[in-house]
């Protein structure tokens, strides 16, 4: 069953239940109210008749039954006057054919006497009765329940008509609201089918309110991210094929030249050196691509532990020292209060990320490289700066993407690997240019608890 039919069915059942319960409640409340009002009228009338009986002093005889003083405006109300023993002294039926009361023996049959006695005792539930004590005995006023039920049924019919109209209006309103809710969901389903078909660029934002709007926005954002990822993957394979093709062409060309005798003497040795260098470069490239793939897909490749930031930075400097000496670059390191500050990360992976960042700085630095570490707002911040030419503005947004490299870059995977490692540590890496010149790469990590 479609969702729209399910919602309408559920709403219809709920509406019927509510109206049914409301109808029963109103029925009994209305009935109780009418009975209470009728009893109040009977009570007031009984007090009035009791005063009249005191003035007229009706004789207590069973042979004659004088008419009780009931006004014509009280049609449908009857009275019974009984003595202390429960015997009927007088009665005033509500029927119009009895104008003058006759002796009880002639006016009341045995069956009628029994019925009247039940009414007087209050055991007949078909009548509403009110008792009042008089000098002659007990005065009982009664009126049939059928009169009350007639009024109650007339009012209940009107209420049912009102309920029916209100229910119909609510049903129409529910159909409108359901259509308003379901229509965005149907359009959202169509957009998700585009995602299924990998048409990420064709996904459009569905305007809707509330939670449906939030879901629509999430779907649109997801499609944009998938489209970006798809483009990045295509670009990655294109760049990877290009980066792999270059060393392979060099290796193949020199190998064929040596085989065919194109190179002789010292040129053969140079050709073999190029083959070895390109092979090493190819191996490094494949290793970095494999590491990136593992960082993206494998959970067990990352072994998290508690490490000391000072020891991490010290080992980074020691590993980089030969390259720094070769290039004539000095490195200055500050770690302030971070001498014993712990950090949770994979030590070997994070060391590799730091080596990539520092080697990138050493590649462009003129004379100095600075490493500054501190705690800021409960986080560990490591800044690596150099006095080089800085990062081109058009390259900044894409610096950490794969195969994106500067003028003197190598494979374009080093900073991409650093970003993947830092993000796996729960951190954030960003690049910027210093005001006085040079590049600044900042690594921010949450402090260990």
pLDDT in tens, 91-117: 665 433 333 333 343 445 556 566 666
The whole-angstrom separation of Cα 51 and Cα 200 is 95
Task: For residue 36, give the nearest of 152, 140, 133, 136 by alpha carbon.
Answer: 152
> What pLDDT does 134 receive?
76
Burial 362-376 (b: 16+ CB within 10 A, else e): bbbbeeebbbbbbee
Question: pLDDT for 278-288, tens place per residue?
Answer: 888 788 778 77
Where do the DSSP E strands lie in 135-278?
A: 137-144
- Mean pLDDT value across residues 37-44: 82
- Mean pLDDT value across residues 386-398: 87
Question: pLDDT for 403-439, tens place per residue?
Answer: 777 676 666 778 888 888 888 888 899 999 988 888 9
pLDDT band at 341 (very low <50, low <70, confident <90, very high): low
Task: For residue 222, give the nearest of 239, 206, 235 by alpha carbon.
Answer: 206
Burial 175-209 (b: 16+ CB within 10 A, else e): eeebeebbebbeebeebeebbeeeebeebeebebe
Summary mean pLDDT of the chain: 77
Are the CB atoms for 422 and 443 separated by under 8 Å? yes
- Tell me, what DSSP letter sits at residue 200? G
Question: pLDDT for 56-90, tens place per residue?
Answer: 554 544 444 444 554 434 557 777 777 777 677 77
CA distances from 343 to 318, 324, 382, 446 (A): 20, 27, 12, 8
> What pLDDT does 41 receive?
82
In this predicted structure, the answer to whether residue 384 has a pLDDT above a threshold of 90 is yes
> What pLDDT does 71 receive?
46
Query: Chain centroid to CA 85: how far?
Result: 76
In this predicted structure, the answer to whether residue 322 has a pLDDT above a threshold of 80 is yes
The neighbouring-strand residues paired with 88 are 82
The whole-angstrom separation of Cα 78 and Cα 84 is 20
CA distances from 221 to 13, 200, 203, 217, 226 (A): 38, 10, 10, 6, 9
- Mean pLDDT value across residues 138-154: 77
- Mean pLDDT value across residues 294-303: 68
pLDDT band at 449 (very low <50, low <70, confident <90, very high): very low
% of the chain at pLDDT higher than 70: 79
CB-based contacts of 318-323 (< 8 A; 24+ apart in sequence): 319/351, 319/355, 320/355, 320/358, 320/359, 320/362, 323/359, 323/362
- Mean pLDDT value across residues 193-217: 80
Question: pLDDT for 212-250, tens place per residue?
Answer: 778 888 888 888 888 877 776 776 676 677 667 777 888
Q: Which of 12-16, 107-111, 179-183, 262-266 has the lowest mean pLDDT?
A: 107-111
Residue 376 backbone phi and psi in degrees, to 5:
-145, 120
% of the chain at pLDDT higher than 90: 6
3-class SS shares of the chain: helix, strand, coil, % to 5: 60, 15, 25
Q: How many residues does the chain have?
A: 449
In this predicted structure, the answer to whether residue 180 has a pLDDT above a threshold of 80 is no
The whole-angstrom separation of Cα 336 and Cα 358 is 19
Please state whether 212 falls in left (phi above 0), alpha (psi between -120 and 50) or beta. Answer: alpha
> What pLDDT does 228 receive?
77
């Amino acid at each position: 069953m479609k969702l729209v039919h399910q919602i309408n069915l559920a709403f219809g059942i709920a509406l019927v239940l509510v109206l049914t319960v409301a109808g029963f409640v109103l029925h009994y409340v209305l009935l109780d109210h009418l009975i209470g009002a009728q009893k109040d009228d009977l009570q007031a009338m009984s007090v009035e008749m009791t005063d009249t009986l005191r003035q007229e002093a009706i004789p207590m005889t069973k042979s004659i039954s004088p008419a009780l003083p009931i006004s014509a405006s009280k049609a449908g109300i009857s009275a019974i006057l009984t003595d202390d023993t429960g015997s009927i002294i007088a009665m005033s039926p509500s029927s119009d054919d009895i104008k003058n009361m006759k002796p009880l023996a002639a006016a009341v049959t045995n069956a009628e006497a029994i019925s009247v006695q039940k009414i007087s005792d209050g055991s007949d539930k078909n009548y509403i009765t009110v008792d009042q004590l008089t000098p002659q005995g007990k005065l009982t006023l009664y009126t049939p329940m059928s009169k009350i039920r007639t009024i109650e049924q007339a009012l209940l019919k009107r209420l049912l008509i009102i309920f029916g109209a209100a229910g119909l209006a609510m049903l129409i309103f529910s159909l409108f609201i359901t259509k308003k809710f379901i229509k965005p969901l149907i359009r959202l389903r169509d957009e998700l089918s585009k995602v299924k078909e990998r048409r990420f660029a064709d996904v459009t934002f569905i305007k809707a309110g509330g939670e449906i709007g939030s879901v629509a926005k999430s779907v649109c954002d997801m499609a944009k991210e998938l489209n970006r990822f798809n483009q990045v993957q295509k670009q990655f394979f294109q760049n990877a094929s290009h980066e792999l093709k270059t060393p392979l062409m060099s290796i193949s060309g020199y190998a064929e030249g040596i085989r065919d005798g194109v190179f002789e003497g010292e040129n053969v040795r140079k050709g073999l050196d190029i083959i070895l260098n390109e092979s090493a470069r190819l191996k490094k490239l494949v290793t970095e691509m494999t590491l990136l793939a593992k960082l993206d897909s494998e959970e067990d490749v990352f072994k998290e532990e508690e490490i000391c930031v000072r020891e991490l930075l010290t080992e980074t400097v020691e590993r980089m020292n030969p390259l720094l000496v070769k290039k004539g670059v000095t490195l200055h390191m500050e770690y302030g209060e971070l001498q014993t500050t712990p950090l949770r990360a994979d030590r070997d992976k994070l060391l590799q990320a730091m080596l990539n960042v520092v080697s990138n700085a050493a590649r462009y630095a003129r004379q100095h490289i600075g490493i500054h570490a501190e705690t800021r707002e409960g986080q560990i911040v490591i800044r690596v700066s150099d006095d080089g030419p800085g990062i081109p503005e058009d390259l900044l947004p894409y610096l950490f993407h794969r195969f994106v490299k500067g003028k003197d870059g190598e494979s374009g995977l080093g900073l991409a690997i650093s970003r993947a490692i830092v993000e796996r540590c729960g951190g954030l890496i960003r690049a910027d240019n210093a005001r006085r010149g040079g590049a600044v790469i900042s690594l921010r990590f949450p402090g260990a608890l």
